[in-house]
Chains A and B, each alone.
Chain A
Amino acid sequence: MASQKRIAKELSECMANPPAGMRVSLANDADVHKWHIVLEGPPNTPYVGGTFGLVIVLPPEYPFKAPVVTFATRIYHPNVTNDTPGKICLGLLKTENWKPSFKIQTVLQAVRGLLVEPQPDDPLEARIADEFRSDRKEFEKNARQYVTQYAKGPVKFDKKLTSTAGDAAATPGASSS
C-alpha cells in the first residue's frame, strides 16, 4: 500500500516535471509497477537524434528493493548489453547499494548520465568498452549506426520482452548484481 502511494507520487512528479529529455508513461494504466520511458539521445553524444525506450519494473517491495531498468531499444554502449532487452549494470541499482530513499528520477538521471559519459572501466560489453577507449571514432560511428538502425521513429515496447515481472527475492547467502 505504502508502495503504491509512493509510486503514484513519483509518477505524478515525473509526469509533471520529467527529467531532461525524457517522457514518462505507464506501460499499462492499471499497473503502476511498470513504466515506459522514452529517452532522447543527449546532445553532444553519438546518441543524439535517437529515441530510446527504457522499461522500469518496480518490484512489489519497492522502494525497499531496487527497480529493474532495461533498454527496450538496442543501443551500442559499453555499459548496456548489446541485445534486447539491454541490461544495464548500474551501481545504484545493485542490491547492496540500493537505498529506499533513491527515487526513480535519480535512476533515470543516472541512466542518462551513462549515455553522456560511458564508464568503460565497468563494462558489460568489453569489446565496445575497448573500442571506446582505443578507437573513439570507430565507436562513435558504430553507435551512430545503431541509432540509425534501431533508434529512429517511435519507440516500440515489445510486450513480450518487457513482461518479466519484478525481481529479486533476497538471495540466500549472497547477492548478485
Chain B
Amino acid sequence: MDSLGLDDSDEPRDVELSSLSAIYPEIQQVHPDDRYTIVLDIPVTPSKAVVVSFPATQEASADPEQRLPHVNGNGNAAQNGGTVVDQQELAHLPPVHLEIAFGHDYPAEKPPKIAISTTPPWLPAETIKKLEDDGPRLWEEMGRDIVGFTYIDHVQQAAEDVFGLVDKTGALEVDPQHKIAILDYDIQARRAAFERETFDCGVCLDPKKGSACHKMMDCGHVFCIDCLQDCYNKAIQEGDLAAVRCLEPNCAKAREKSAARLPGEKKKKVRTRISPSELLQIPLDQEVVKRYVTLRYKTELESDKNTIYCPRPWCNGAARSKKHKKPQGLELGEASDDSGDENDQDGENGSKKKPYSGAELLAICEECSFAFCSRCLQSWHGEFFRCTPRRDKEELTAEEQASLEYMKLHTTPCPTCAAPAQKTHGCNHMICQRCQSHFCYLCSAWLDPGNPYQHFNEMPNGRVTGCYMRLWELENGDGDDVGLGFAGGVGGGPGGDDRAAVDVPDLPEVGADEPADDVIIWRENPGPDGLPFEPVEAFNGPEEENVAPVVIDREGPLVLRIGGQEENRIITILEEEDGEEGGDSSNSMRSKLVDVGPLSSAEVAPAPPNGAEEDEEEPLAQQQPPGGAQQQRRNNINNNNQNQNQNNREGDGLQGGDAWPVADDDPEAEGVLILNAEQAAWVRQFVQLALDDEEPEDDDQDDDDDAQR
C-alpha cells in the first residue's frame, strides 16, 4: 500500500486502489509518479491440464520426441501417424499481463483504460481485443462505477478455461513459434509448484520440502536429494551400477506391467537406469557422474566378447567400434541404449565372418588412436600381410599369470557373459552383476530366474543335478582373502565365533564327542597337469560302506560329500608340500586334514600335524589373521598348480613360519589328527597315497609356510 503512496484522500480512485492492492498484493505501478496506472499478471492455470497443439512446422517435426521432464510425459507427437501435430499437455500457460490505467475522469466519466498482453504473444489478437472491451462493458453494467476488482476477477475466471479457447476435445492450438517459450514457462511453473509441496522421502522417512527433493524423470517418484546422493554416490563408488535406479519398491516391475499392456512387444524392458544428465540434475558431483559414465561404458565393452583392446601396455584402450561409442563428456554414446538384440546379431555375424579378411583386421584405439591389427596385435601392417595370432601365454607377465591362476581357482564364470564372479559369502545362487544372469556358483550352470533353486533341489522329473543339496556350500566365500573383504565375514558366517582366531584347543574334544550331519572332504583338483588322483579312488573303493554316499563334482575345487557316519565331521586333508617327482614347485601337491566342529564351519582349524600340540595353541590363535579360518578352508580346495605369488601372500597373511607348530625339518612326519579308529584307517591310507609322490622338501622360502603346516 505504501508503495502506491496512497493517502487518506476521499478520491474514489485512491480508495479503490487501496482495496485492490490489499486483495492483490502483487499489483505494481508502471511509473512511480503515476500511481493510477497499475499492472498485474494473471496466471493462466486451467483447472484441468490442457493439451496444447502446435500445428506442423519443420522445427516441430524435427524434434517430436523432445523429452521434457515436467511435461506430463504425454508428448504423443509422432503417435498420430502421418499428421505432424506436436502436442503437449500443459498445466501452466504464460500469464496474462494486465495494465489498467484509471484516468482522472474515472469512474464517473470514463471507463478504465485496459491493455492486455502476454509474453510470448500466444493469446490470439481477437481474444485480447475481447478482454480489453470487457472493461468498459462491465463499467457500464456496474452503472459507471468503480470496476477494478470486478474486472480483474472477470479476467481471472476467464483464464480458468483459457478464455474459451479450448475446444471440445480439450485441445488448444498455439502458434508453434512460441512453443519453446510456452513449454519453458510450464516447466518453471511446475517446478515452482513442486518446490512448494512437501513429500515424505521413502528412504529417510522424513517429510521434505519439494525444493530439497528430486522427482525421478522416468517414473515420477520423489525422494529427497540427500538420500539420492547418499545412495548413488555409494553405488557408483562401489561400481554397483545396477543400484543406480529408482529407489521405490517394485518401480520397474510396475512400469514393466503397464508397458506390457501397451501394444508393441518390442520394448519389453523399461528403462531403469538413470541417465547421466539426470544424475547431474539431482545433483551429483561431476566427478561421480563421470565415473558412472566411464563404468557403464567399460561394463558394456567388457560384456562384449568381441571387444579388442589396444596392445600398448600403457594404454589398453578399447578399439573403436560401431556398437559401443565412447562417451563424449558426460553423455553416454547413443548405441549404448539399444543394446540387446542388435548386439547379439552382430556377434553372430562377426563369428561367421571369421577368418577376417584384410581390412577388417584394422583396429584403431579409442584412447591413443594407435592403429593395429586385431589378429596379431602389431601395429597395422596393411591388409595384404598374412599374420598369425599372437600367442597370449608367452606374453603374460608373472603377475598376470598369477592373477589368471587365481581367477581360475576362485571364480566361476557367468554362463552368459563369461564375467568371472568370486563369491564372498552366501548361497550358491549367483546373479551376474554385469548381465544379471542367474547361475550356479559350483558348476556355472545357467539358472532359470523364475526358479533358480530348483537346480539345488529335485527336478520335477525326479532327477537331481550334481549340485543337489549344495546351495550353501562355500558359504563363507571363495578365495584366499575370504572374510577379509566384508564385515559379515569375520569369524565366518552366522554361527561362527567372532574371534577370528581359530580354536585349536577344542579340536580333540570336538573330535571326541559331537555328532554332525554330514562330512565334507575338500580335496584338491588334480589340475590341468593331471596329477594322479588315487586318494579319491581309494576311499571310493573298499571303504565305501563307511563313507556312504560319495558325490564328486565340479570342475574346480573338488568337493566330496560323505554322510551317514556315526561321528561325522568336516575333514580336509592336511596341507603338505610335496613336489612331484622331478617336477617344479608349482606342480607340487598340497593337501591337508582339518577337523572342524560339527556345526560351525567357521571354526575350521589347521590341525597341528603331530597330533594336537596344546602348548602351541596360543601363538597360533593369536597370529591367525582375521578370516584365517576361511583362508584355511580355501587352501584346502586350492588347485595344486597354485603359483608362488600366492604362496607368498599366504605366508604374509600368516606372519611367517612361527605360527605353525611343526618342525621345519620334518615334513615327512606330518601326522594326521586322528579322529577315531575307523576314520584313522582310511585317512592313513589316503595320506600314504599322497605321500607316494613326495620328494624331500627344499628349503626354499616360498615353500616354508606350506611345509610348516
Q: A85-B495, A170-B238 known; A6 and B487 CB under 8 Å?
A: no
Q: Which residue of A lies closest to B204 (CB)?
A: A6
Check A122 against B498 for contact (C-beta < 8 Å): no
A138 at the interface (CB under 8 A from B): no
Check A165 against B204 for contact (C-beta < 8 Å): no
- CB contacts (< 8 Å) of A170 on chain B: these are 238-240
Check A81 against B205 for contact (C-beta < 8 Å): no
Which of A5, A63, A100, A169 is in CB contact (< 8 Å) with B486?
A: A169
Q: A64-B230, A124-B471 known; A172 and B204 CB under 8 Å?
A: no
- CB contacts (< 8 Å) of A103 on chain B: these are 205
Which of A10, A122, A175 is in CB contact (< 8 Å) with B430?
A: A175
Which of A99, A167, A171 is in CB contact (< 8 Å) with B423?
A: A171
- CB contacts (< 8 Å) of A129 on chain B: these are 457
Chain B residues 241-286 with CB under 8 Å of chain A are 242-243, 247-249, 251
Chain B residues 463-503 with CB under 8 Å of chain A are 468-469, 471-472, 485-488, 490-491, 493-498
Docked pose: A10 CA to B202 CA in angstroms: 12
Check B242 against A169 for contact (C-beta < 8 Å): no
Check B457 against A165 for contact (C-beta < 8 Å): no
Check B490 against A10 for contact (C-beta < 8 Å): no
Chain B interface residue bracket vs A: 35 or more
Docked pose: A30 CA to B359 CA in angstroms: 69
Chain B residues 390-422 with CB under 8 Å of chain A are 411, 414, 419-422
- CB contacts (< 8 Å) of B206 on chain A: these are 5, 9
State how many angstroms separate the Cβ of A76 from the closest Cβ of chain B: 15
Q: Which of B235, B434, B441, B457 has the most CB of A within 10 A?
A: B457
Docked pose: A129 CA to B428 CA in angstroms: 19
State how many angstroms separate the Cβ of A170 from the closest Cβ of chain B: 4
Check B230 against A172 for contact (C-beta < 8 Å): no
- CB contacts (< 8 Å) of B488 on chain A: these are 59, 68, 164-168
State how many angstroms separate the Cβ of A87 from the closest Cβ of chain B: 7
Check A164 against B422 for contact (C-beta < 8 Å): no
Docked pose: A2 CA to B228 CA in angstroms: 12
- CB contacts (< 8 Å) of B239 on chain A: these are 170, 172
- CB contacts (< 8 Å) of A73 on chain B: these are none
Q: A68-B488, A99-B247, A100-B227 known; A161 and B495 CB under 8 Å?
A: yes
- CB contacts (< 8 Å) of B165 on chain A: these are none
Check A2 against B423 for contact (C-beta < 8 Å): no
Check A176 against B242 for contact (C-beta < 8 Å): no
- CB contacts (< 8 Å) of A161 on chain B: these are 494-495
Check B441 against A176 for contact (C-beta < 8 Å): yes
Docked pose: A129 CA to B235 CA in angstroms: 36
Write the B213-243 contact mask toward A (1 if CB under 8 angstroms, else 0): 0000000000100110011001100111011
Q: A2-B226, A126-B458, A176-B427 known; A96 and B242 CB under 8 Å?
A: yes
Docked pose: A62 CA to B269 CA in angstroms: 29
A28 at the interface (CB under 8 A from B): no
B451 at the interface (CB under 8 A from A): yes
- CB contacts (< 8 Å) of A168 on chain B: these are 425, 486-488
Write the A139-164 contact mask toward B (1 if CB under 8 angstroms, else 0): 00000000000000000000011011
A40 at the interface (CB under 8 A from B): no
Q: Which of B247, B424, B430, B599 has the most CB of A within 10 A?
A: B424
- CB contacts (< 8 Å) of B249 on chain A: these are 99, 101-102, 106
B194 at the interface (CB under 8 A from A): no
Q: Which residue of B lies closest to A64 (CB)?
A: B231
A16 at the interface (CB under 8 A from B): no
- CB contacts (< 8 Å) of B247 on chain A: these are 99-101
Check A9 against B205 for contact (C-beta < 8 Å): yes
Docked pose: A101 CA to B230 CA in angstroms: 13
Check B429 against A176 for contact (C-beta < 8 Å): yes
Check B420 against A169 for contact (C-beta < 8 Å): no
Docked pose: A101 CA to B222 CA in angstroms: 11
Docked pose: A32 CA to B391 CA in angstroms: 57
B426 at the interface (CB under 8 A from A): yes
Which of B205, B234, B422, B487 is in CB contact (< 8 Å) with A174?
A: B422
Check A64 against B486 for contact (C-beta < 8 Å): no
Docked pose: A99 CA to B428 CA in angstroms: 22
Check A164 against B496 for contact (C-beta < 8 Å): yes
Q: Which residue of A lies closest to B423 (CB)?
A: A176
Write the A86-115 contact mask toward B (1 if CB under 8 angstroms, else 0): 010100001010011111001000000000
Docked pose: A169 CA to B432 CA in angstroms: 16
- CB contacts (< 8 Å) of B429 on chain A: these are 176-177
Check A174 against B238 for contact (C-beta < 8 Å): no
- CB contacts (< 8 Å) of A174 on chain B: these are 414, 419, 421-423, 430-433
Check A171 against B424 for contact (C-beta < 8 Å): yes
- CB contacts (< 8 Å) of B433 on chain A: these are 171, 173-175
Q: A99-B247, A164-B491 known; A173 and B599 CB under 8 Å?
A: no
User: 12 new A-B pairs (CB below 8 Å) besides A100-B203, A168-B486, A177-B429?
Assistant: A10-B205, A64-B230, A83-B599, A84-B495, A122-B451, A130-B458, A168-B488, A169-B424, A171-B423, A173-B419, A173-B421, A176-B431
Ordered nearest first, which 8 A-B pairs have the shortest CB separation? Answer: A174-B421, A169-B486, A101-B202, A176-B426, A167-B488, A126-B457, A173-B421, A170-B238
- Residues of A in contact with B (beta carbons under 8 Å apart): 2, 5-6, 9-10, 59-61, 63-64, 68, 70, 81, 83-85, 87, 89, 94, 96, 99-103, 106, 121-124, 126, 129-130, 160-161, 163-177
Q: List 6 A-B contacts (CB under 8 A).
A: A64-B231, A87-B494, A171-B424, A173-B421, A173-B434, A177-B427
